[in-house]
Amino acid sequence: MLTLELLLFVGLFSWIYFLWSRRRLYGLLLQLPGPMGLPLLGIAVEYLIFYKRKMKIRTKYMDQYGSTILTWLGPMPFIMTRDPKIVEEVFMSPECINRSSQFTIPLTSSAKGDGLLSIEANRWIERRKHMNHTFRHNILLSFLPIFNAEAKSLVTFLGTQVGQGEKKILNDIVRWSFRVATQTTVGTDVKQDKSFENDTILKSYESLLHLITMNVMLPFTHNKIISTLCGFEEKRAGSASHIEKMIDKIIDKKLNSKPESGAEPEITSVINKAIELYRKGELPLGEVRAECTMMVVAAFETTGVTVCHTLTLLAMFPECQQTVFEELKDLYPTAGDFEVTYEDVQKMVYLERVLNETLRLIPSVPFVPREATQDFRLSNGVVIPKGVTIGVDIFNTHRNKEFWGPDADKFNPDHFLPDNVRDRHPYAYIPFSKGRRNCIGWKYGMMSSKLALAKILRNYKVTTSFRFEDLDFVDNVGMELALSPGIEFHRRT
């Protein structure tokens, strides 16, 4: 009897200590409104089972409780905001440079090392300074031959779809984007690798991305035992091994080759800059590989879905598509194959507005979680304790009616007319994040997307029977539609 009483006392004391140690987390309940959900589970059941990760759950909560809310994912508090003023404070704060460990842990595990996407603030600042060189204007211009060549291949493939009715082309466009991202990250030598040509590497990357997404959405899968029992670790190891072999082969070739006398210096691409840092002793060899792996992950999926979603929206809004076509016909009077120059890209003013509006309504990355490295006070007086995650809801920020008006959910490229842009809060539109840790490759993404779209839309008219009102959006590391619309291609002259 005494033993039982002792155990009950110890259990009660431990529970009280546990609650006391988390008192600052529970203190957030007094500062921010939001749904509590179930004990220990929070909103996980509703989010994963009833809403099946659909973004409308976040919209529902923010419409009900306000633009900055507190909820619980499992036993941990999670702050979400769609308020551009709060977004600016988070993105500009030195206390919120770190991405959430819920995202970085699976990313680092999959890439077998740290890269710019995952490293913490103290190392990130220096790494970003180094890697900025790989996205300078002259480097982007050097990628134009790759952009043009791969866009030509995509246009040729789409020609085989003419007259075939509505087709789901997301996978084909992602394949184009992957080929571009890989060549511009590790060099055109990758085209000689059999695993690149037969899409083994693409499938490995897609498998890793799927596992990363699952780990982010289901944090308990971070546990090695659970992950191994479920077979996830075996899949991760197999996919990572394929990628590692390909990148290591290219790294070894670059490390063991000597530049020929009088030869042009190599372009400062991601792999070349990482190898330069390795030779200086500033970067371990494992992180050279991880940096290349992560850059490809960051580029190919986001650019691919952006191009596919732009085509989808233009198929739904033929009057906007016709305006794009007329702009392109002025630049390229004859259909078929043509080289797109940087000067041409700058003249695609309306196409850029369409692309921006696509990224507003369907951002390629719908949610950005940041983790406070120190206690952080928001302008509304709320103190975010160290270690707590605050998520910037890009999807709902872009549809916040307080800043975008009553038609915020409608497709309207005129949202990006100069006068409208000037009058809007600068953090109401953040498709590439913003502030201290913005997307390093946003200019790269815009250039490659506009170039591919120009070639496609000058050569083909796109249509669909799918209605804009029926689009349903699913939470993911990258944007996902619950049902991907089919697109039909019609040849233009």
Closest CA to 110 of 249, 222, 278: 222
Instruction: Report helix, strand or coil for 185.
Output: helix
Exposure string for 406-422, b = 16+ CB within 10 A, e = fewer? eebeebbbebbeeeeee
Question: Is residue 189 a contact partner of residue 215, using CB atoms and an 8 Å limit?
Answer: no
Question: Is residue 450 a contact partner of residue 345, using CB atoms and an 8 Å limit?
Answer: yes
Can you list the alpha helix ranges (DSSP code H) found in 143-230? 144-159, 170-186, 194-197, 200-217, 224-229
Closest CA to 63 of 39, 41, 33, 93: 33
Instruction: Report helix, strand or coil for 369.
Output: strand
pLDDT of residue 263: 47
| Cα Rg of the chain (Å, integer) | 24
pLDDT of residue 434: 92
pLDDT of residue 184: 93
Query: Model-level pTM greater than 0.75?
Result: yes
CB under 8 Å to 351, separation ≥6 — which residues?
A: 324, 327, 328, 450, 453, 454, 457
Alpha-carbon distance of 75 to 89, in angstroms, equals 26
Question: Is residue 79 a contact partner of residue 390, using CB atoms and an 8 Å limit?
Answer: yes
Question: Is residue 69 a contact partner of residue 80, using CB atoms and an 8 Å limit?
Answer: yes
- Regarding the domain with residue range 82-491, which homologous superfamily does it belong to in the CATH classification? Cytochrome P450 (1.10.630.10)
pLDDT of residue 188: 85
Closest CA to 478 of 397, 395, 406: 395
Beta strands in 58-199, from DSSP E residues, in sequence order: 68-73, 76-81
Residue-wise pLDDT tens for the chain (493 aa)?
A: 567 777 777 777 776 766 676 677 777 877 899 888 777 777 877 887 777 788 899 999 999 999 999 998 777 888 999 999 999 999 999 999 998 888 888 888 888 888 888 898 888 889 999 999 999 999 999 999 999 999 999 999 999 999 999 999 999 999 999 999 999 998 888 888 888 888 888 898 888 888 887 777 777 777 778 778 778 888 888 888 888 888 888 889 888 877 655 445 566 789 999 999 999 999 999 899 999 988 888 888 889 999 999 999 999 999 999 999 999 999 999 999 999 999 999 999 999 999 999 999 999 999 999 999 999 898 888 888 998 889 999 999 999 999 999 999 999 999 999 999 999 999 999 999 998 899 999 999 999 999 999 999 999 999 999 999 999 999 877 788 999 999 999 999 8
